[in-house]
Amino acid sequence: MSNSTKYVFVTGGVTSSLGKGIISASLAKLLQARGYTATIQKLDPYINIDPGTLNPYEHGECFVTDDGAETDLDLGHYERFLNDRTSQDNNVTTGRIYQSVIDKERRGEFLGKTVQVIPHITNEIKERIQLLGKEGKYDIVITEIGGTVGDIESLPYVEAVRQMKWELDGDCLVVHLTLVPYLAAAGELKTKPTQHSVKQLLELGVQPDVLCCRTEHELELNLRRKIAKFCNVSMNAVIESRDAETIYDVPLLMQAEELDRVVLEKLNLNTKSVPNLDKWKEFLTTLKNPDSEVTIGLVGKYVELKDSYKSISESFIHAGVANKTKVNLRWIHSESVNSDNVSEKMEGLDGILVAPGFGSRGISGKIETVRHAREQKVPFLGICLGMQCAVIEFARNVLGWAEAHTTEIVDNCNTPVISMMEEQKNISNLGGTMRLGAYRCHLTPGSKVSKAYSTDKISERHRHRYEFNNEFLDAFEEKGMRATGKNPDTDLVEVVEIDDHPWFVGAQFHPEYKSTVDNPHPLFVAFVKAVLENRK
């Protein structure tokens, strides 16, 4: 639609957790609905190379892309909103920027110059931002800067934005998210924190073009006028961003505030296009008017921080809508489950999901949970470690191999039904070394999974080091746990299921990473469908 790629930067002020990711995704959705191609990138100012080595308690779930990048969970929102794939290029951290600059320095690429934050680090940042624009694939690249303006670690990013705005005059725009708090004692919304935060940006040489004001109450005209005046932005560029009932409402709320039109006008792009959000609105209508409700237990060890399972909980929202039902999740801490209380903990659940994870904490609770789901014939989905627990449980309680385990927990286990993949054995670095990203999988015709997907050839994303040990496969299949999904190149078992059960599926891959509003994931859809049928 335009000759050159336009760049929109999204910064945040006053506090974290204002929802930059959702605003970015919503803006991109609106632009996409008008026929523009848009992608979103997240720049994270921390020094880790990627979030793969971060504990989920730090930043929530680690999202994985098709090309095997371990990324920030905001990329999950981008994919779910846009129904488009992201890649390694969509998430960059300070660690990665520095690593790349230092590698260049070692190769002598800076020709004897002193290597400095400005220009070397800022140049590297600008290159990473423009990488997505260069391929000519996108009309608009939206770059979300993690953290809050004023943080020491985000300074080089704001400086890169300042330079780009100067260099690409007219092709760049800054949307600043800020908070307009309500002071109960005064009975008023307060604009001062917003003024301070914009001042902070101005001190760094950046004038925001649009202000998205997070607020719990209506932003009245006089307040908008005040903010516009003190922050040098036009009145129509003061956008109210009220708390929403669901994140999927936000694109429509932003449309009502004309965020997309303001952005397009300021970028000198055509605003005549009519946004088509019919499918999105249909999704929302069903989401808010379900025919029924079901309760599914999500058993994991990070349930105190629900962001740790973001893609799973969103997948259930999509799959619920596909089944015209509301999926209520009961979050169950795997450490709290044991053989004595498992029935009580699982009481009233229509379905059970055992979550992915690493290490020994909570694993016995996961195994007890699987036993309950298998024996009580409760529809079950196990993902990654959840699938591995299903295998261990079956080995112990059906095959009678009391010692069966994964070598992740018991290194010298004598019945290692789950063991380390051959190619993992000589790896000592933890970061970025797992089996990551998309791999092909062939499904057994007629199996529950092949019915779910309505095809026998799929590709799904992975993030693990351990695998089903094929040495034991015959014994499992004889007793009724079948490998119904296998990697055609390596023979690795990707799916197990039990026939004599309403719906019992374990997947070594992570289906949750591929569920979107437009394309709810077939495994989640089939699971919720089985839950509904089993209840009848």
Q: Which residues of 380-391 are buried (b: 16+ CB within 10 A; e: fewer)?
A: bbbbbbbbbbbb
Phi, psi of 303 (to 5 degrees): -65, -15
Single out the segment in contact with ligand GLN by CB under 6 A; choices: 162-170, 273-281, 337-345, 355-363.
Answer: 355-363
- Smallest gap from Cβ 313 to ligand GLN, in A, equals 16
* 356 is an interface residue for ligand GLN by CB under 6 A: yes
- 512 tagged catalytic: yes
Q: How far is the CB of 432 from ligand GLN (least distance, A)?
A: 14
Applying CB under 6 A, does 139 fall inside the site for ligand GLN? no
Examine the residue annotation and report whether 478 is marked as an active-site residue of this protein.
no
Gap between the Cα atoms of 158 and 202, Å rounded? 10
Nearest to 460 by CA among 300, 299, 321, 311: 311
Instruction: Out of 219, 385, 443, 517, name the contact with ligand GLN by CB under 6 A.
Output: 385
**357, 379, 416, 485: which one contacts ligand GLN (CB under 6 A)?**
357
**For ligand GLN, which stretch binds (CB under 6 A), given 115-123, 164-172, 186-194, 356-364?**
356-364
What distances in angstroms separate CA 411 from CA 393, 395, 424, 473, 516, one per listed residue?
18, 17, 14, 20, 38
Q: How far is the CB of 229 from ligand GLN (least distance, A)?
A: 51
Q: Which residues contact 107 (CB under 8 A, 6 or more apart)?
A: none
- Lay out the site mask for ligand GLN across 451-480 (x = CB under 6 A, - = otherwise): ------------xxxx--------------
Residue 347 CB partners (closer than 8 Å, separation 6+)? none
Number of residues counted as binding ligand GLN (CB under 6 A): 10
For ligand GLN, which is the closer residue by CB, 214 or 464?
464
- How far apart CA 65 and CA 329 sit, in angstroms, is 25
Rounded to an integer, what distance in angstroms lies between the CA atom of residue 502 and that of residue 498?
Answer: 9
Residues near 140 by Cβ (< 8 Å), separated by ≥ 6?
5, 6, 7, 8, 28, 31, 36, 37, 38, 39, 267, 269
Q: For residue 227, give the H/E element and its range.
A: helix 221-231
Q: Find the part of the chain contacting ligand GLN (CB under 6 A) among 194-202, 213-221, 334-342, 352-360.
A: 352-360
Residue 357 beta carbon to ligand GLN: minimum distance, rounded to whole angstroms: 5
Stretch (H or E) spanning 96: helix 94-106
CA–CA separation, 322 and 522 (whole Å): 10
Query: CB 319: neighbour CB atoms within 10 A?
Result: 25
Among this protein's residues, is 413 annotated catalytic?
no
Catalytic hit among 384, 467, 494, 521: 384
CA distance 10 to 222: 25
Q: How far is the CB of 54 from ligand GLN (least distance, A)?
A: 14
Residue 310 binding ligand GLN, by CB under 6 A: no
**DSSP label of 269:** -
Applying CB under 6 A, the span of 65-73, 87-95, 248-256, 354-362 interacting with ligand GLN comes to 354-362
- 121 vs 384, beta carbon nearer ligand GLN: 384
Q: Residues 6 or more apart from 263 whose CB is under 8 A from it?
A: 8, 27, 31, 173, 175, 210
- Kindly state the smallest distance separating residue 393's Cβ from ligand GLN, in Å: 15
Q: Is the dihedral of CA 113, 119, 125, 126 positive or negative?
A: negative
Q: Of 77, 176, 318, 510, which residue is the catalytic one? A: 510
Closer by beta carbon to ligand GLN, 35 or else 431: 431
- Using CB under 6 A, pick the residue from 79, 408, 460, 494 that binds ligand GLN: 408
- What does the binding site for ligand GLN look like in residue numbers (CB under 6 A)? 356-358, 384-385, 408, 463-466
What residues act catalytically? Answer: 384, 510, 512
